[in-house]
Amino acid sequence: MGKHGKKFENAVQKIDRAQVYLAKDALVKVKELAYAKFDESIDVNVNLGVDVSKGEQTVRGSVVLPHSRGKEVKVIVFAKGDYADQAKKAGADYVGAEDLVEKISGGWMDFTYAVATPDIMGLVGKLAKQLGPRGLLPNKKLGTVTFEVASIIQDLKKGREFFKTDKSGIVHFSLGKVSFDVDKLQENLGAFIKSLVAAKPAAAKGKYLKKMTVSSTMGVGVQVNPDELLRSS
């Protein structure tokens, strides 16, 4: 593990890292301890009581945040005919089929999300190697493979975000920016936890939310009491 800088070490001295905070208090602390010159993201890491070696216990879901993360969202849509027209009217940033596949094959990746209608997923599948590792391949389970293109585009533009457990059974999720009001961050956190609980696998046993930490991009992790959030979710 690499050495942390002086600013990080100074921040560490200002907090008892073993202490578990209520959500709002933790977010206030994270904002106070942020020291980078840029507007850092505020992230939450949740250790889940799941066995990720078993496919049925993978946790995957999405949430429309009450307050978007404050970033520009660009949505592309693979569609033809009437569905392409619907996507354009709904505000898609780029709509196409073979031409869009060719554009991405050439290295173009200037978008946040990709949506596709089911009838041309065979065509989109040619991009699996480019889009899959980046989590950008349209996926039926996430709602990005659908004929309801207008609805999903609107959701994505409003701030729908996706989450999934990593190989350690941890979900990493961004709530917003340090510049956000604490109340907005807390509402985003509450919405995320509600969706995370709803995504609990039926096969998961025991305590589901085992440990939760919030931090800024460069900052110190602050522990949050998950039971408080469970009661309000």
- For the chain, domains (ranges, CATH) are 6-69+160-232 (3.30.190.20), 75-158 (3.40.50.790)
Please give the pLDDT value at position 35. Answer: 83
Q: Provide the pLDDT for residue 33.
A: 87
Q: What is the pLDDT of residue 1?
A: 41
Question: Alpha-carbon distance 65 to 175, whole Å?
Answer: 8
Q: Would you state the pLDDT for residue 233?
A: 60
**What pLDDT, on a 0 to 100 scale, did the predictor assign at position 36?**
81
Q: How many CB atoms lie within 10 A of CB 99?
A: 10
Give pLDDT, residue 11.
Answer: 58
pLDDT of residue 72: 83
pLDDT recorded at residue 69: 83
Q: Could you count the other beta carbons within 10 Å of the beta carbon of residue 183?
A: 11
Distance CA 120, CA 145 (A): 10
3-state secondary structure of 32: helix
CB atoms under 10 Å from CB of 134, counted, come to: 9
Residues of the chain below pLDDT 50: 1-2
Closest CA to 118 of 89, 148, 98, 81: 148
pLDDT at residue 42, as a whole number: 95
Q: How far is CA 180 from the centre of its chain?
A: 17
Structure token pair of residue 125: 């599948």
* b/e code 25-56 from CB counts within 10 Å (16+ = b): ebbbbbbebbbeeeebbbbbbbbbebeeeeee
For 97-168, list the strands marked E by DSSP.
Answer: 113-116, 160-164
